[in-house]
Amino acid sequence: WNKFTENEYRKKKQYFISIEREYFYTCCGTHIINFMVKDSMNDMDDTISKICDSVKYVRGSPNQLHAFKQYVKAIDFNISIV
């Protein structure tokens, strides 16, 4: 955090954001936040993919859907299947 940046900050506070006492131009800060969100989404991507594949499998045929409903009923799980 040098004097030039500090002077710029004082002149144009609305163009800066602070993350853990580090100051960034707003466009740089939003870019960093975007990377963080994308990284989190990549971590969940595998799980979401498995859930989608499971739903496709269950809805693949009337017999599979019926078997799934029977299983849900057997374990007494409250779920609404559309």
pLDDT digits (tens, 9 = 90+) for 8-38: 656 665 555 655 556 565 556 677 788 888 8
Over the chain, what is the mean pLDDT?
75
Q: Which of the two residues, 39 and 23, has the higher pLDDT score?
A: 39
Sign of CA dihedral 23, 17, 31, 5: negative
Mean pLDDT of 46-74: 89
**pTM of the entire structure?**
0.43
Instruction: Give the closest residue to 20 by CA, choosing from 2, 38, 35, 33.
Output: 33
Among candidate residues 4, 1, 2, the one with its CA nearest the CA of residue 12? 4
In the chain, where the domains are located: 3-74
